[in-house]
Amino acid sequence: MKSKFTTAVVTAIALAGPAMADLVVPNLSYRTGAYAANGIPYADGFNDYFTLLNERDGGIGGEIVQVPECETAYNTEKGVECYESTKGMGALAYNPLSTGITYQLIPKVTADGITLYTPGYGRTSAANGSVFEWVFNYPANYWDGASVAIKYLLDENGGDLAGKKVTLLYHNSAYGKEPIRTLQALSEKHGFELQAVPVDHPGQEQKSQWLQIRRDKPDYVLMWGWGVMNQVAIQEAVNIRYPMDHFIGIWWSGSENDVKPAGDGANGYKALTMHGTGMDYPIYADIQKYVVDAGKAAGAGDMVGTVLYSRGMYAAMVIAEAIRKGQEIHGTSAVNAAQVRDGFENLEITEERMAELGLPQFGPPFAASCTDHGGPGAAMIQQWDAAAGTWNSITGFIAPDDAVLDPLVAEDSAAFAAENNITPRCQ
């Protein structure tokens, strides 16, 4: 009786977990809690892309991709628990969509030898591959975002921001504080006055901050927000009649969720984006056919083409391409985590490849290397059209000011290396 029970338990565990030969990419998602509205479309896009590869192509290099999902509720402790509970499945890479979780996982993935991929979030200086061997954050990071925003404002002002006032409204967290250092350096370089205004989590009440903005009358407001902070900030900006086309959010403050609650008032609001949005990409026909119509979509299928769905799909695409590269380098389809890391480090995404994937002009081409885990850092500016309910790109990809950013990345990563006794490699 006892042995039958043991056999049943072992069988159940074996069936519940991924098959040993499968490629495993856990999805540390958040479909519950205060940030669920953002976590859901991202997780759907992430899952649906791998489902598409499995259904249409039979996986990657003939290997089916398993995407076990673990709910973090955007909580750092839960995120770490999710990591610990899934890494034993043979996890090849993690993308936790949380800067707080990322900071906790960096030492863990380094010790365990698993790639941490944090596109557009996480620790900015992880772009320095010589220090952060197991972390990648291409195609862009927060400091790139700050620089691109300022370059856009320079373009808008004939190349001169001297004497202008720029306010940074930021989520008072590790994430929100990331761009401050870069903006301070850029303010010294370009002569604009920078004021940083923090908003405490969750950001439901921002009266003080917007009274201050109304008094100070900054020429531009940049926002590093997430979740309800974005919606309230945009509504408060409408309330004080702040010109929306002078209000620019980072890519985490630029989804449909952020602007729709403010209705027509949000018209003209701008945000950065590191990838294209909307349905004008051939890949969506395949997602409709192989995923949504087949009843295999991660969600209800109603998020396809939205900003955060597109971003989750993009992250999955990069991970899939890194796996493919790892397979190519090592000549085996059943790659392990170390081989996939090699794939990340040697990954080259060209425009031709993006077109083959059904995503022409979707993201910037880039080539990673041993030292460069951060990519080109280019981003576009998009603007919200409230009447049409769409984001429209109003610029092409703008490259960041590497002359300012490179020393900052070098300084921060050197400090991390010193704190953690890391000897930089491949210099």
Partner 1 sequence: MPDQLVYAMEVTLNGLMAGVMYSLVALGFVLIFKASGIFNYAQGVLALFAALTLVGLQQGQVPFAHLINAVFGTDLHHFGWHLPAVVAIALTAGVMVLMAIAVEKLVLKHLVNQAPIILFMATIGLAYFLEGFGDVMWGADIKKLDVGLPQGISETIESVTADWFGYGFFIDNLDIVATVVAVALVTALTVFSQYSKQGRALRAVADDHQAALSVGISLRFIWVLVWSIAGFVALVAGIMWGTKSGVQFSLSLIALKALPVLMLGGFTSIPGAIVGGLIIGVGEKLFEFSIGPMIGGATENWFAYMLALLFLVFRPQGLFGERIIERV
Q: Would you say 14 or 240 has its CB closer to partner 1?
A: 240
365: left (phi over 0), alpha (psi -120 to 50) or beta: beta
Query: Which structure tokens are listed for 414?
Result: 């050197």
Q: Would you say 56 or 207 has its CB closer to partner 1?
A: 207
**How many angstroms separate the CA atoms of 141 and 122, rounded?**
8
Query: Which structure tokens are listed for 66?
Result: 């398993």
**Residue numbers of the site for partner 1 (CB under 8 A)?**
31-37, 40, 172, 196-200, 202, 204-205, 207-208, 210-212, 214-215, 227-228, 231-232, 235, 238-241, 257, 260-261, 263, 265, 295, 300
Q: Would you say 204 or 350 has its CB closer to partner 1?
A: 204
Q: Which of 66, 65, 88, 82 is nearest to 28 (CA)?
A: 82
Write down the least CB distance from residue 115 to partner 1, Å.
Answer: 29
Write down the least CB distance from residue 276 to partner 1, Å.
Answer: 22
Write down the least CB distance from residue 113 to partner 1, Å.
Answer: 35
Q: Would you say 108 or 214 has its CB closer to partner 1?
A: 214
What phi and psi, each to the nearest 5 degrees, are found at residue 194? -105, 130
**Helix extents (H) in 115-173:** 142-156
Q: How far is CA 162 from CA 165, 177, 195, 203, 347, in A?
A: 9, 24, 14, 31, 40
The number of CA neighbours under 13 Å toward the Cβ of 347 is 30
Question: How many Å from the N-terminal Cα to the C-terminal Cα in the chain?
Answer: 62
Q: Do residues 119 and 137 make contact, with C-beta atoms less than 8 angstroms apart? A: yes
Q: Would you say 208 or 420 has its CB closer to partner 1?
A: 208
Write down the least CB distance from residue 303 to partner 1, Å.
Answer: 9
Q: How far is CA 169 from CA 192, 235, 263, 328, 408, in A?
A: 16, 14, 21, 45, 21
Q: Would you say 62 or 263 has its CB closer to partner 1?
A: 263
Question: Taking the alpha carbons of 65, 68, 73, 75 in that order, is the dihedral positive or negative?
Answer: negative
Write down the least CB distance from residue 27 to partner 1, Å.
Answer: 16
**Cis (ω within 30 of 0) for the bond into 139?**
yes
Write down the least CB distance from residue 215 to partner 1, Å.
Answer: 6
Write down the least CB distance from residue 226 to partner 1, Å.
Answer: 10
Write down the least CB distance from residue 209 to partner 1, Å.
Answer: 8
Q: Would you say 109 or 223 has its CB closer to partner 1?
A: 223
